[in-house]
Amino acid sequence: MLDSIRDKTALVGVVGLGYVGLPLVRAFVEAGFRTIGFDVDEQKVDSLREGRSYIAHVDSDGLRRWTESGSFEATSDLARLHEADALLICVPTPLDENRDPDLTYVRRTAESIAATLRPGQVVVLESTTYPTTTREVVLPILETSGLACGRDFFLAYSPEREDPGNPDYTASGIPKIVGGIDATSSELAQALYEQAIVQVVPVSSPEVAEACKILENTYRAVNIALVNEMKVLYDRMGIDVWEVVQAASTKPFGFQPFYPGPGLGGHCIPIDPFYLTWIARRNGMHTRFIELAGEINSRMPGYVVDRLTYFLNEFGKPVRGSRICILGVAYKKDVDDPRESPAFALMDLLAERGAVLSYNDPHVPVLPSVRHREERRMESTPLDPEFLGEQDCVLISTNHSAYDYEFVVRHSQLVLDTRNATEHVTEHRDRIRKA
């Protein structure tokens, strides 16, 4: 197996062809490996077979080259899992209705692999999860095959690291943490990623690798909560928190800037801290600091809507019946990923208060259905002077680079800016409010 990895004859299988899996496929294809991608979503598989990418930072031209050269094949047939020499699991790990970890997709994938597992295969879990998942959840399922880990098959954990919208950090350009169940599993997983990733950082166990991922995202969630709480306080004091952060950033040591917003978005930062608090409770501990950060961040959409209500009142308008356009529904700037976007929470709260909603997002032409959210069949409305003029308020939820904020402000009655996107707009400043 080690020889086949080093001479790149090993077939790499990626299970889950979403925002993590598809860029990972690209990394191994560009490194010279043949790859096979598995996904239970037939629409995704059909799209990939036709050379159509559904992820903005994986271009369709490149995808077609992969398939035409035989470097990549997509399938929904999980009976073919045995064909791959290495299987990298990149399936979703959401929260359930009680905000507890939902490992349904991980378990089902492990069961499918166990049904076809053969000697020599390397299995690596990449899905974000709590420490001990690889050893206590995935390993026992794989061993129902009758094969032994470390002798017949090999198992490791390597957390996904993606920064969508940042061209400086592709999947192959971000250092990879790898922790194996045993020494041989670690050696094989490390050797595999070394062929396609700029740097591999081995750690002593899968638990360390799992905990590393949780720490990375909890660190961000806690610091974002800090600046969000500062924002609420400074707003009351008439101080611009954005200017404060900018000023503090001039200190060359001891400070890293984090920025406030209307809430947390993406698959990782709003979810991962809950994985940590859950496993802490299982170990008889309450992570009060982390839970407090989660409470602060989860309150931000409500704070934004309260500010919107106040600003509309300045013009003698109630929220009920007012036309509100949400500008940007992706969870972050310049991406097409709406997972856990605070825009959905804003829509829910505004709809409860009777607002007439619309949205625009150049990266999300149709509003997708979202877990645990009311389904809204909406399409992105083009931004023209007439449409903007009809809106009682334009709420900037995501600060995409594609927006001409001078144009938006010039033609709008009121703009509520949650991202400091209008910082450099010079005209009609009286129409802009920050939240």
**Residue 393 catalytic?**
no
User: How many CA atoms are closer than 13 Å to the CA of 215, on its beta-carbon side?
Assistant: 8
Locus of tokens 């903005």: 56
CA–CA distance, 423 with 434 (Å, rounded to integer): 10
The 3-state secondary structure of the chain, one letter per residue: CHHHHHCCCCEEEEECCCCCHHHHHHHHHHCCCEEEEECCCHHHHHHHHCCCCCCCCCCHHHHHHHHHHCCEEEECCHHHHHHCCEEEECCCCCECCCCCECCHHHHHHHHHHHHHCCCCCEEEECCCCCCCHHHHHHHHHHHHHCCCECCCEEEEECCCCCCCCCCCCCHHHCCEEEEECCHHHHHHHHHHHHCCCCCEEECCCHHHHHHHHHHHHHHHHHHHHHHHHHHHHHHHHCCCHHHHHHHHCCCCCCCCCCCCCCCCCCCCCCCHHHHHHHHHHHCCCCCHHHHHHHHHHHHHHHHHHHHHHHHHHHCCCCCCCCEEEEECCCCCCCCCCCCCCHHHHHHHHHHHCCCEEEEECCCCCECCCCCCCCCCCCECCCCCHHHHHHCCEEEECCCCCCCCHHHHHHHCCCEEECCCCCCCCCCCHHHEEEC
- Work out whether strand 176-180 and strand 154-157 pair parallel, antiparallel, or are unpaired: antiparallel
CA angle (259 as vertex; 267, 273 as ends), nearest 5: 35
Q: Which of 90, 149, 268, 325 does the annotation list as catalytic?
A: 268
Structure tokens at 412: 């709008």
At 11, phi and psi to the nearest 5? -90, 120
Structure tokens at 191: 């050797």
CA–CA distance, 297 with 271 (Å, rounded to integer): 12
Locus of tokens 């350009």: 173
Which amino acid, 414? L
Annotated catalytic residues are 268
